[in-house]
Amino acid sequence: MTSFRVEPDVLAQVLDPHEAGPRVVAIGGGTGLAQALQAITHYAGAVTAIVTVADDGGSSGRLVPALDIPPPGDIRRCLVALTPQDSVWRRLFEYRFETGDIAGHSLGNLILAAMADLEDDFEEALRTARRLLGAVGDVVPASPGPLRLEGVVAGEPKHGQVEVARAHGRVERLWLEPETASASPSALEAVMAADQIVLGPGSLYTSVAAALLVPGIVDAVNASRARLVVVANIMTQDAETLGMDAADHLDGLLDLTGVRPPGAIVANVAKVDAVPPLETLHVDPEIMATYGADVIEADLVDPTAAWPRHDPARLGEVLSRLATA
């Protein structure tokens, strides 16, 4: 196991996509998964996003009960993240209504819902959306239908992704309902064919863990020969991970999901201004190396972002090196 740092001058390179590059699977949800996908498109020959289906907030939370489809919000973000060129379709998928009965809804979510109704198959609807957008990878729901995230936080039961995300205290248990749910076959096929599997960045419990908890996903990851990489968050998250360092994040992920320890951990070392109670995620390379993983430290912050987030080109450079090591 090793620990090393990638210097900023190396990270400044922007890689071109490689048709013969590695097959990469990224698992999670939210904006974190979208950032990872933008990074992965710089080097992967094939990329698949496996997306949590437990989101019950915002536009998705309003559509799912009425239409009985996987929540489309995170899936839409991933499709857009995998779309390199601006187009009318991309702008339509990103458009959000601000007034009227559909205020707060993303047009992309509504388009996906309509396509699912026309195709009578949600994954076929995603394939159609990919063609319309010109997306360069596949987006697959972790399970064919919507699931509900359940948890116990600081001894109190929490029902749904929003409740878990807002709860303060240690997350003691997480599970998905209904318990009879299973993973999408296409998700399992992508994991087993992968050369590299990326977890994070993103909400530890309500995005990354929520996707891994779908029955069958962790078994496939643990059986896969792919190198598993965890991308550490830049900062803690309000309520969900306040007061936790990088080792706490990794412990929580391993303990609650049963996923195998990663082969590599990617961590940001650039200074960011965190507004209390949020903190920069503390990473101790010596402690992280005890997990048997390579620890890669680099300046990964997007200098153009108003809020600290990963820079796709910089993160892509590090992940590319790990994929070919």
Domain count, the chain: 1
* CATH number assigned to the domain comprising residue 48: 3.40.50.10680
Q: Is residue 226 part of a domain?
A: yes
Q: Residue 235 forms beta bridges with which residues?
A: 280
Q: Is residue 125 part of a domain?
A: no
Q: Is residue 64 part of a domain?
A: no
For residue 193, the enclosing domain spans 3-55+140-324
**Cα 237 to the center of its chain, rounded Å:** 15
Q: What is the pLDDT of residue 13?
A: 36
Q: Is residue 74 part of a domain?
A: no
Residue 309 has pLDDT above 70, yes or no: yes
Q: Residue 50 forms beta bridges with which residues?
A: 27, 140
Q: Residue 197 forms beta bridges with which residues?
A: 25, 228
**Per-residue pLDDT averaged across 204-227, rounded?**
98
pLDDT tens string 247-274 = 999 999 999 999 999 999 999 999 898 9
Q: Is residue 84 part of a domain?
A: no
Q: What is the pLDDT of residue 5?
A: 55
pLDDT bracket for residue 164 (50, 70, 90)? very high
**Cα 72 to Cα 222: distance, rounded to the nearest angstrom:** 27
pLDDT tens string 197-214 = 999 999 999 999 999 999
25: which DSSP letter?
E
Q: Is residue 93 part of a domain?
A: no
Q: What is the pLDDT of residue 324?
A: 87
Q: Is residue 41 part of a domain?
A: yes
Interstrand relation of 46-51 and 148-153 (parallel, antiparallel or unpaired):
unpaired
Q: 215: helix, coil or strand? A: coil
67: which DSSP letter?
H
Q: Is residue 71 part of a domain?
A: no
